[in-house]
Amino acid sequence: MINNILSPVGWQILSVAACAAGACGILGAQLVLRRKAMMGDAIAHGVLPGLVIGFVLSGSRDLLPMMVGALVAAIVVSTVAEWLRDRAGVDAGAALGVVFTSLFALGIILVEIFARDVDLDPGCVLYGMVELAPIHQVEWFGQSLPRSLTPVLGAFVINIFASLLFWKEWKLCAFDPELARASRLPFRKLEQGLLVLVAITSVACFEAVGSILVIAMLAVPATIAHLLCNRMSTMVIVSTLAGILSAVLGTIGAEQFNTGVPGMMATSSGLLLMGAIFLAPSRGLIPAASRRLFWALRVEMEDILAESYLLSEGTDETGNIDASEPREALPPARLTFSSMLLRGSAGMLLGVRGYLRDGVPVGRGKRIARALLKKRGLWRRFAAERLGLASDHLDEPAHRIEHHLDDEFTRRIESGLDSEES
């Protein structure tokens, strides 16, 4: 359908898709922060009767009456669901489910009754017609632009302005609704306004990209951003960018696989989400797992060095640890496959780096072992003198904590102990 993404036609499709995705991405961040991610789904389904009634009353496929109808329906969804939750004690998810599925059913019946002979089939609302965007053109500032760009671009701009305007208020509402209520902010109006914006955005995007895309783009880019960011400002920006990136990838994918743009956009946003789950720098599964692995390797290497140092020297010259002194038996480490593998690879790494030769730590290895033993001794003293632990409770925590003491902390313990003695 799209022959070349770089052709003018390809650009126009891409611009419509990207604007829609960006508009949804901005608001999606707000929804995800409020744990209302399913609101997108609910509104996308629940506006159907509003669309149909707007269409029937106006008798045309003009955007405005349908938009008004959809807005009313969206407000009905959110208000009734909230009312059911707060006043009638229905579970929040169930309340939303009852309202939007009922409205959707009503919408389908209305379509069957009123709109059977005209082309307002539910499929059109679902899939959208982004590929047909270049067919209807409008003149804008002397440029010929696709007609469906107008609503999505409008929604994008409105959302940007609204976000900037209500930035502080929305932030408060998202993170501390109790404070927002208590500080005389028009809390309900702000939240309703957000949902109205969601409704406007969904309706603007329906014609261009279809409701599936609205559902996916309200939820997925924001979730990606939620994985990557810790601040609302970066989250909103990343969410918007992730939406636009899915639009680009989706358009290219649709061209490659010869299928529809909205579906491919949702799919590529899903792939991006998977990427974020596995690779996000601080929270991704793979970085977190590798950090744990490196830490375990370091601990294992330090332990081996310290043990072999004690064995080879017989005693520690710092005088803190005496190998000949009968020590309490540490609980034997469980010999599992992974622990053996870890020990083996730690030993091999030490050999390769030249820290350990014939079971004797040399050079840097020796220094590491000494530093570790010093820390162990320090902690034992600290625990005995300051924390008042019994002498048979000193070794095990010292063994564990010695790996976590950095230089600064060691110095502080040292000076603390010294000042006590003096």
Partner 1 sequence: MISPNTLVILLGTTALGTCCGIIGALMLLRRRALLADAIAHSTLPGICIAFLLANSRSVVALGTGALVSALVAAALVAWLPRVSRIRKDAATACVLGVMFGAGIALVGLIQRSGSGGSAAGLDGLLLGRTAGMLRSEALIFGCAAIVMSLIVFALRKELLVSCFDPRFGTSSRIPTRSIDLLQTSLLAVTIVIALPAVGVVLTAALVVIPAASARFWTDRFDSLLRISALLGAGSGILGTLISTSHPDLPAGPVIVLSATGFFAVSLLLAPRRGLLSRHLLARSRSRKRTIRHLLDAILDAQLQGQMQIAIAQIPESAHCTDLRSIEYSVQSGWVRREGDLISLTETGRIRATRARKALEIWREWLTSEASIDRDLIDLDEVEIEKILSPELIDTLQRSIDERERS
Residues that bind partner 1 (CB under 8 A): 1, 32, 35-38, 40-41, 45, 84, 88-91, 93-98, 101-102, 104-106, 108-109, 112-113, 122-123, 126-127, 212-213, 215-220, 222-223, 226-227, 253-254, 257-260, 262-267, 269-270, 273, 277, 283, 285
* The three-state (H, E, C) secondary structure of 161-188, written as one string: HHHHHCHHHHHHHHHCHHHHHHCCCCHH
Q: How far is the CB of 333 from partner 1 (least distance, A)?
A: 28
| Angle, in degrees to the nearest 10, between helices 8-33 and 261-279 | 50
CB of 347 to partner 1, least distance (A): 32
As measured in angstroms, the least distance from the Cβ of 360 to partner 1 is 43
**C-beta of 133: minimal distance to partner 1 in Å?**
16
Nearest CA-CA partner of 12 in 147, 212, 200, 151: 147
Q: In this complex, which beta carbon is closest to partner 1, that of residue 91 or of residue 322? A: 91
What Cα–Cα distance (Å) separates residue 211 from each residue in 224, 245, 353, 357, 405? 20, 19, 58, 67, 55
- Residue 294 CB, shortest distance to partner 1, in Å, is 20
Integer Cα distance of 421 and 224 in angstroms: 55
Q: Quick check: helix, strand or coil at residue 35?
A: coil
**Shorter beta-carbon distance to partner 1: residue 117 or 418:** 117
- Residues 266, 216: contact at Cβ < 8 Å? yes
Least spacing, CB of residue 167 vs partner 1, in Å: 22
Task: Count the Cβ atoms, other than its own, within 10 Å of residue 208.
Answer: 29
Nearer to partner 1, 146 or 260 (CB): 260
Is the CB of 107 or the CB of 151 nearer to partner 1?
Answer: 107
Q: Which is nearer to partner 1, 145 or 224 (CB)?
A: 224
Give the residue with the Cβ less far from partner 1, 223 or 308: 223
Nearest to 45 by CA among 13, 90, 76: 76
Provide the residue count of the chain: 422
Cα(417)–Cα(422) distance, integer angstroms = 9
CB of 36 to partner 1, least distance (A): 7
Q: Which is nearer to partner 1, 106 or 158 (CB)?
A: 106
Q: How many CB atoms lie within 10 A of CB 329?
A: 7
Closer to partner 1 by Cβ: residue 174 or 398: 174
Q: For the CB of residue 116, give the shortest distance to partner 1 in the complex, in Å.
A: 9
Nearest Cα residue to 201 out of 61, 45, 20, 13: 20
What is the 8-class DSSP label of residue 373? H
Nearer to partner 1, 10 or 122 (CB): 122
Q: CA-CA distance, 86 to 73, in Å (whole number)?
A: 20
Closest distance of CB 203 from partner 1, Å: 18
* DSSP letters spanning 85-149: HHHS---HHHHHHHHHHHHHHHHHHHHHHHSTTTT--HHHHHH--GGGGGGSEEEETTEEEETTH
Q: How far is the CB of 225 from partner 1 (least distance, A)?
A: 11
CB of 166 to partner 1, least distance (A): 22
| Residue placing its CB nearer to partner 1 in the complex, 1 or 293 | 1
Closer Cβ to partner 1, 165 or 289, answer by number? 289
Contact yes or no for 208/152 (Cβ under 8 A): yes
- Alpha carbon 66 to its chain centroid, in Å, reads 34
Token readout for 236 is: 């909103």
- 283 three-state secondary structure: coil
